[in-house]
């Protein structure tokens, strides 16, 4: 039976969108409710602001991911269409081009040409997509997958500080929401770092730092002006 290895790069498409969504869900919603709470708003008002931020943010993340990844997919399709045309009109030059790529990777000229010809005989477009354009099936743009992953994880992330609003007395809301959100962010950063093969501590630290900065800024705005700024 062939040995099938799984690599972390296969997760890039959905992992990036999921981490971005969850991180933004926690940071933006926690910052929003901390800013509103710091303005001495009632607990019900803070809760409404948080829920509204969850809904708006999840939909915004979905739309943003779909549009941006769709643009990437459009570019990939355009490059493939151009490559398909070149293969149909100037096959010898395309063989030479692929041969040159393999030579630069360390093969001698004869072997490089042999590899290029055999790969192109099997699937010329796939060979050029992979080795000339850097496109693979694992890393292909998937707009719908990115949109769903981002929206779902944003909602999950946003629900965490909202839950703290529900169970925390108004007098301690700013402190509790800030502290627990930083813990959530650190955990998310550690999880993302581990999933991507990096140090969990580095992942936790960089996410928590920017989250703390965002919450401190909105808390200051709420305290000074009595206005929630998301």
Q: Where are the domains of the chain?
A: 12-78+143-224, 84-131
pLDDT recorded at residue 138:
64
Residue 34 · residue 165 · CB < 8 Å: no
The alpha carbon of residue 87 and the mean position of all alpha carbons in its chain are separated, in whole angstroms, by 34
Tell me, what's the pLDDT at 126? 87
- Rounded to 5 degrees, φ, ψ at 90 are -150, 65
The residue ranges of the chain whose pLDDT is under 70 are: 1-17, 138-140, 192-198, 225-230
**Would you state the pLDDT for residue 164?**
93
Would the pTM count as exceeding 0.95? no
CA distance 33 to 222: 10
Instruction: Give the model confidence (pLDDT) of 112-161 as tens digits.
Output: 899 888 988 898 888 888 888 888 776 667 888 888 888 999 999 999 99
The torsion angles phi and psi of 150, rounded to 5 degrees, stand at -70, -45
Predicted local confidence at residue 209, as pLDDT = 84
Give the span between the Cα atoms of 139 and 116, in whole angstroms: 22
pLDDT for residue 13: 54
Question: What's residue 200's pLDDT?
Answer: 74
Mind listing the pLDDT tens digit for each residue in 210-221? Answer: 878 877 887 787
């Amino acid at each position: 039976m062939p040995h099938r290895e799984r690599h972390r790069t296969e997760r890039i498409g959905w992992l990036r969108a999921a981490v971005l969504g969850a991180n933004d869900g926690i940071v933006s919603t926690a910052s929003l409710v901390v800013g509103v709470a710091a303005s001495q708003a009632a607990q019900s008002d803070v809760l409404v602001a948080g829920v509204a931020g969850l809904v708006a943010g999840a939909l915004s993340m979905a739309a943003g991911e779909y549009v941006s990844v769709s643009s990437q997919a459009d570019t990939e399709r355009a490059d493939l269409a151009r490559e398909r045309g070149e293969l149909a009109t100037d096959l010898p030059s395309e063989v030479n081009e692929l041969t040159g790529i393999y030579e630069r990777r360390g093969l001698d000229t004869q072997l490089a040409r042999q590899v290029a010809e055999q790969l192109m005989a099997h699937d010329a477009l796939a060979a050029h997509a992979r080795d000339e354009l850097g496109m693979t099936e694992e890393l292909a743009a998937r707009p719908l997958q990115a949109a769903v992953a981002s929206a779902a994880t944003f909602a999950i992330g946003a629900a965490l500080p909202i839950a703290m609003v529900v169970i925390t007395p108004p007098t301690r809301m700013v402190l509790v929401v800030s502290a627990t959100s930083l813990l959530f962010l650190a955990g998310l950063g550690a999880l993302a770092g581990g999933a991507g093969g990096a140090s969990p501590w580095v992942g936790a630290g960089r996410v928590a730092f920017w989250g703390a900065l965002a919450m401190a800024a909105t808390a200051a705005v709420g305290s000074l002006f009595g206005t929630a700024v998301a």
